[in-house]
């Protein structure tokens, strides 16, 4: 699990195709501290297992599924990547709960500067629409962000100078693909409501769940 607070902007040193997957070597100095082989590191929002950990680099394997669902397959030697180590019990949860399981690819549409801060517009695929809400959390390229504006096919996020400086946002260009992960809480709520609806319809194979009516009774309007 991660928080979406990027610790370091690393750089891809090398990529080696292995069948339908890839072995990636990433230059990094911060996230390698205290990291052992087998630990998890988020690379542009994708949870990967650290291998061959050294003082200034680590390697990681990406499967066919990972390459198809995320943007890792489009990385090249020299590409900047957002890095974060997995949380520990003592970690401050400065962002939100991020699993590193990419839900889909979005598109970097534009970035507008406002005296050092930025408004970034991200296009998203239709299947993620139900998980996005105004002022809700979303992960873009592994970064925990808040939806500042929401339209039918894009959302906007406000980025402070610190985030712009320490992530790969400043390297993106209009049209570039980005990794998106929806808030896990939204997914669980959807599942609970779906199971509850089936229960109400007499599907006894499903266990009782939380329904919209029950939420209303609890004061959620």
Per DSSP, the three-state class of 131 is helix
Give the model's pLDDT for residue 207: 47
pLDDT 10s per residue in the chain (221 long)?
Answer: 999 999 999 999 999 999 999 999 999 999 999 999 999 999 999 999 999 999 999 999 999 999 999 999 999 999 999 999 999 887 777 889 899 999 999 999 999 999 889 999 999 999 999 999 999 999 999 999 999 999 999 999 999 999 999 999 999 999 999 999 999 988 888 888 888 667 777 655 544 455 556 556 555 55
The pLDDT mean for the chain works out to 90
CA torsion, points 94, 97, 103, 109, in degrees to nearest 10?
-20
Euclidean distance between CA atoms 220 and 180, whole angstroms: 28
Cβ within 8 Å of residue 173, ≥6 positions away: 108
Q: How many helices (H) and strands (E) does the chain have?
A: 4, 12
> How would you label 122-136 residue by residue, b for 16+ Cβ within 10 Å and e otherwise?
bbbeeebeebbeeeb
pLDDT tens by residue, 96-131: 989 999 999 999 999 999 988 999 999 999 999 999
Give the model's pLDDT for residue 161: 95
With CA atoms as reference, report the closest residue to 61 among 90, 22, 25.
22
Q: Six-digit token pair at 141?
A: 């390229």
Beta-strand pair 137-140/117-123: unpaired
């Amino acid at each position: 699990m991660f928080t979406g607070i990027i610790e370091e902007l690393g750089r891809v040193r090398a990529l080696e195709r292995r069948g339908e997957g890839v072995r990636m070597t990433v230059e990094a100095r911060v996230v390698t501290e205290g990291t052992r082989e087998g630990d998890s590191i988020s690379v542009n929002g994708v949870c990967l297992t650290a291998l061959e950990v050294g003082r200034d680099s680590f390697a990681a394997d990406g499967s066919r599924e990972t390459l198809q669902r995320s943007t890792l397959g489009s990385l090249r030697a020299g590409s900047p990547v957002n890095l974060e180590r997995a949380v520990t019990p003592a970690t401050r949860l400065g962002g939100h709960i991020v699993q590193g399981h990419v839900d889909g690819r979005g598109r970097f549409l534009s970035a507008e500067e406002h005296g050092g801060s930025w408004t970034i517009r991200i296009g998203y695929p239709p299947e993620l629409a139900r998980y996005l809400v105004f002022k809700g959390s979303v992960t873009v390229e592994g970064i925990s962000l808040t939806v500042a504006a929401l339209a039918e096919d894009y959302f906007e996020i406000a980025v402070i100078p610190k985030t712009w400086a320490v992530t790969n946002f400043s390297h993106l260009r209009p049209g570039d693909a980005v990794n998106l992960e929806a808030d896990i809480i939204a997914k669980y709520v959807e599942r609970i409501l779906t199971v509850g609806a089936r229960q109400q319809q007499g599907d006894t194979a499903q266990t009782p769940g939380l329904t919209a009516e029950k939420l209303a009774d609890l004061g959620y309007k």
